[in-house]
Amino acid sequence: MFRPNDQDPVWSLSSDAQKSYPSLWDDLRCDVAIIGAGYTGLSAALRLAEAGKSVVVLEADHVGRGGSGRNAGMVNSGLWLDPDDVAATVGPKVGKRLNSALAGGPDRVFDLIAKHQIQCAAQRAGSIQLAYSETDVEKLQRRYGQMSNLGCDVHMVHGDACSDVAGTHRYQTGLIDKRAGSINPLAYCRGLAQAAEQVGALVFEGTRVTGLQRASDVWCCETARGKVTADTVVIATNALTAKRDFPRIPAPIIPVPFFQFATDPLDADGEAVLPQGHCAWDTRDVAFCFRKDSENRLVMGSVGSLNGIRMALARRWLSAEIRWLFPKLGQVGWQLSWTGTIGFTANHVPSYFQPAPNLIAPSGYNGRGIAPGTVFGTNIADYLISGSEDALLLPLKAPVGHVLPRQKAQMMDWGAAAKRVFRTWKLAT
């Protein structure tokens, strides 16, 4: 089974010191209990507390210690699927609302950052999706048309214009989204926690929910040293939802590992890499993204774990990619590596699962965590405030478990590793 690389992400080196929150040692009563202190749980807690609801957030580890603080820090709009494919999957009415809300996802994130003065190295320079091969140019053209129809501020770049943005001549076509940007994802998560606490939410760390029981129309979240009784519970653990903790919830997502490596801070030659501050990813089959952080480190990531020999294989592959993409950098040193987990759904679209009354589990962001997580957390809070399902971007539905989800994740892990081995060999020949 996939075991995360527990090394802290590079974001922990360039964010403010961790504010500590107490563990739960008491029995509490609240309107809404939220399990998981990531983007979804904390943005929901913030909106609910602002509306006067009593909110308790229960985090098994530390704020942002899960997927939220371990991703690439790219604030993108939409999903990996093109907008028309999203609408075809969920239906035109839901698809229109969902696409519109996620198109505005970066606005929601950066507005929160500004409102609450969150220090997270926010940079709204845009993103660029790059055509990995000539046959992928049509994919970008199609996505460009669909995003333009949503009113998105996007445009295509070709030839030298694309090379100038990416800082490499290996790509000749790209799709730029000016609304996107990059942040320190861990610092953003910590900032949301502090903002939620300031308006009245209670945040507890080191407090794993060990049991979830319903009685007399309320939920009881049991922990090792106390319990929280709530009218409604939001399970905001996404890909890290553990079957042992929530046996009533089938496994509706596939937990797929995603690794990242950060170089040492680049020298003067590194100024030519993504010189305008864009974050980037390309259209190859196995996801590959890269960006620079606030300390001028190059951060690169892809699907897969770093277990066993895969650590050495990943390092060798990334070194080969850097030589191919940015030959002027020469030999770079790798400072840190870490892994997170992506929650994939069968149809590549997120869902609002409702295993039981007043129990909601938004899940399956399919590699787009920051903006969708923030949008969905806020949206679920609006639903709980209004009491109307018309407020929901996605319908509530019963979870349907995948067959052998962790085995499928392992297959994706090994399949991605095999493709990188072939790619490394190809670059060397």
68-97 pLDDT per residue, tens: 999 999 999 999 899 999 999 999 999 999
Burial of 24: CB neighbours in 10 Å, binned 0-12, 13-18, 19+: buried
Beta strands in 195-286, from DSSP E residues, in sequence order: 202-204, 211-215, 218-222, 227-235, 254-263, 279-282
Beta-carbon contacts of residue 264 (< 8 Å; ≥ 6 apart): 297, 332, 333, 334, 335
Whole-Å CA distances, 408 to 248, 345, 353: 21, 12, 21
Q: Contact, 279 vs 72, CB < 8 A?
A: yes
Q: Which residues pair with 154 in a beta bridge?
A: 177
How high is the pLDDT of residue 36? 96
Q: What is the DSSP letter of 220?
A: E
% of the chain with per-residue pLDDT over 90: 81
The whole-angstrom separation of Cα 17 and Cα 36 is: 20
Q: Picking from 4-13, 183-192, 243-252, 409-418, which range would have the lowest pLDDT averaged per residue?
A: 243-252
Burial of 231: CB neighbours in 10 Å, binned 0-12, 13-18, 19+: middle
How high is the pLDDT of residue 246? 67
Question: pLDDT confidence of 164, banded at 50, 70, 90?
Answer: very high
% of the chain with per-residue pLDDT over 70: 95
- 222 phi and psi, to 5 degrees? -90, 140
How high is the pLDDT of residue 2? 36
Helix (H, G, I), strand (E, B) or coil at 50: helix
For 321-365, the pLDDT digits (tens) are: 999 999 999 889 999 999 999 888 888 899 999 989 999 999 889
Average pLDDT of span 405-424: 91
* Residue carrying the six token digits 């650590």: 311
Q: Which residue has the higher pLDDT, 215 or 402?
A: 215
User: Residue 58: enclosing H or E segment and its boundaries?
Assistant: strand 55-58
Nearest to 227 by CA among 382, 112, 58: 58
- CATH class belonging to 10-428: alpha beta
For 188-214, the pLDDT digits (tens) are: 999 999 999 999 999 999 999 999 999
How high is the pLDDT of residue 19? 82
Here the tokens at position 241 are: 């939802």
Average pLDDT of span 364-385: 95
Nearest to 126 by CA among 162, 153, 98: 153
The whole-angstrom separation of Cα 152 and Cα 107 is: 12
Angle (CA) 255 9 309, round 5°: 65
The whole-angstrom separation of Cα 187 and Cα 73 is: 10
* Residue carrying the six token digits 């149809």: 347
Q: Contact, 302 vs 282, CB < 8 A?
A: no
Beta-carbon contacts of residue 376 (< 8 Å; ≥ 6 apart): 40, 350, 352, 362, 393, 394
Q: Which residues pair with 227 in a beta bridge?
A: 27, 222
Helix (H, G, I), strand (E, B) or coil at 232: strand
Question: pLDDT confidence of 251, banded at 50, 70, 90?
Answer: low
The whole-angstrom separation of Cα 71 and Cα 42 is: 16
The whole-angstrom separation of Cα 165 and Cα 282 is: 13
Question: Concatenated DSSP letters for 295-357?
Answer: TS-EEEEEES---TTHHHHHHHHHHHHHHHH-GGG-S--EEEEEEEEEEE-TTSS-EEEEEET
pLDDT higher than threshold 80 for residue 162: yes
pTM, whole model, 2 decimals? 0.94
